[in-house]
Amino acid sequence: MYGPKSYIQHRKFHDCDLRSQPFGIPDGQIIVGAQQQYWIWKPGGPDRFGLNTIAYYQTFFDRTLELKMGYLRNVNEFAGTLVGGSAGASVLAPSANILYQAGMSNNAAPTPAMNVKFNFDDRLYNKVSLQRSLSPDGQQAEITENPTGLNWRTANAGILLVYEIGYKNKAAPGVPETWLRAGAGFNNSSYKNLQYPQQPRGNANSTYYVAADRQLWQSDLEGSAYRGIYGGFSVMYAPPDLNRVSQYYELRLYAKGLFDSRPTDQIAIVATNTVWSNYAVDAALAEGNLVHRDSTAILGTYTAHLAPGIYASVGLAYINNPTSITHTRETGHALNLLVSTSIFF
């Protein structure tokens, strides 16, 4: 057995959103935001200061149709990857980076996009996005080439088309919250082929996902129906010849407002399994590296809502095979202490 390692990971980021209602346009909104992100634990991500979002949101036909366009963060718009749907509570949650590989924009890398959502009723919906893809070489390459987020395009990046259909009802007294969704993304960017690395670029990419969340118990039927215990899962897939991560599985159990004295805090336990591309693994093995074909993790977090827009999270994570595909005998598994503060204003 490899000896466990302990790390302290700390990330600071600040989001600043300015939201206003356009004069004379009912049920519309303009959103402008900037982000400053700094990592003490450098492998966690690149530092940046730049655009977070510039968006115009408008509804039509008594909110049957919703339009959002501008520089968007589609990872917050599709798939529901945030544990419990809370930005503050999700800071330490494992991220399903299959969506990033497929080119989906996010907080650190917004891109031009137009999203259209059609609500069949107050629960059933479908949603489509036409988005400029992230760099097919990954998030690091996108931010390095476009640190401010203002560039209209980056090298080899094309168009990402995302479609999602879902069913979502909000919690009410005696009615548990339920959210079911499934979606797919198709990207015409110029990707490298992992099975035939000597071939020139030009391969289109795709990704697919299903997810579900359900409120299992309501702790405050007469007051705040959202409070209680929830469970959920996510399954994601991407072709192994174009993506280093080919499969992602997640099980989650979380509680909102479990304590009367802390009605907006959240507790989460998340288990994940990430499966690497068999082509990428075989190529690393042929080079004589120590490799693994998947990585599993279990994470527990407590997120405290300290004040409006201010969250603090502490968590503990055990990761089996914490590195990406290749590893050394000293990096078989890790025990991570995670501490995070989030400020939204």
Average pLDDT estimate for 53-63? 94
Q: What is the pLDDT of residue 3?
A: 38
Lowest-pLDDT choice from 80-84, 97-101, 127-131, 239-243: 80-84
Average pLDDT estimate for 294-322? 92
Nearest to 337 by CA among 321, 318, 308, 315: 315
Q: How far apart are CA 209 and CA 236, in angstroms?
A: 4
Tokens of 1: 């057995």
- Secondary element (H or E) of residue 116: strand 111-119
- 330 assigned to some structural domain: yes
Within 10 A of 268 (CB to CB), how many other CB atoms are there? 24
- 186 assigned to some structural domain: yes
Per-residue pLDDT band at 47 (split at 50, 70, 90): confident
Tokens of 102: 């497929």
| 126 contacts 117 by C-beta, under 8 angstroms | yes
Q: List phi, psi (to 5°) of 220.
A: -140, 75
Count of domains in the chain?
1
Q: How far apart are CA 45 and CA 293, in angstroms?
A: 23
Residue range 175-198, pLDDT digits in tens: 999 999 999 999 999 999 999 988
- Secondary element (H or E) of residue 49: strand 48-60
Q: Which of the pair, 92 or 173, is modelled with greater confidence?
A: 173
Residue range 263-276, pLDDT digits in tens: 999 999 999 999 99
Average pLDDT estimate for 87-108? 68
Q: Check whether 45 has a pLDDT greater than 70.
A: no
- 227 assigned to some structural domain: yes
Q: Is 95 helix (H, G, I), strand (E, B) or coil?
A: coil
Burial class (CB in 10 A: 0-12, 13-18, 19+), 197: exposed
Q: Which of the pair, 290 or 215, is modelled with greater confidence?
A: 215
- 93 assigned to some structural domain: yes
Q: What is the pLDDT of residue 332?
A: 81
Q: Is 122 helix (H, G, I), strand (E, B) or coil?
A: coil
Within 10 A of 308 (CB to CB), how many other CB atoms are there? 7
List CB contacts of 87: < 8 A, sequence separation 6 or more: 76, 311, 342, 344
Distances (CA, A) of 59 to 42, 63, 73, 116, 126: 41, 5, 19, 10, 15
Residue range 4-19, pLDDT digits in tens: 444 444 455 556 665 6
Lowest-pLDDT choice from 15-19, 24-28, 201-205, 253-257: 15-19
CA 40 to chain centre: 21
Distances (CA, A) of 76 to 52, 72, 153, 324: 12, 9, 21, 25
- 137 assigned to some structural domain: yes
Q: Is 83 helix (H, G, I), strand (E, B) or coil?
A: helix
Q: Is 43 helix (H, G, I), strand (E, B) or coil?
A: helix
Burial class (CB in 10 A: 0-12, 13-18, 19+), 200: exposed
Q: What is the pLDDT of residue 16?
A: 62
High-pLDDT (> 70) share of the chain, %: 87
Q: How far apart are CA 134 and CA 140, in angstroms?
A: 10
Kindly report the CATH number assigned to the domain that includes residue 115. Answer: 2.40.160.180
High-pLDDT (> 90) share of the chain, %: 63
Residue 222's domain comprises 6-344
Q: How far apart are CA 330 and CA 85, in angstroms?
A: 36
Q: What angle do CA 11, 13, 15 make, to 5 degrees?
A: 160
- 113 assigned to some structural domain: yes
Residue range 149-165, pLDDT digits in tens: 889 889 999 999 999 99
SS (H, E, C) 228-295: EEEEEEEEEECCCCCCCEEEEEEEEEEEECCECCECCCEEEEEEEEEEECHHHHHHHHHCCCEECCEE
- 17 assigned to some structural domain: yes
Per-residue pLDDT band at 33 (split at 50, 70, 90): confident
Write down the mean pLDDT value for the chain.
Answer: 86
Per-residue pLDDT band at 255 (split at 50, 70, 90): very high
Of the chain, the end-to-end C-alpha distance in Å amounts to 46
- 178 assigned to some structural domain: yes
Average pLDDT estimate for 189-209? 92
Q: Is 100 helix (H, G, I), strand (E, B) or coil?
A: helix
CA 158 to chain centre: 21
Q: Check whether 238 has a pLDDT greater than 50.
A: yes
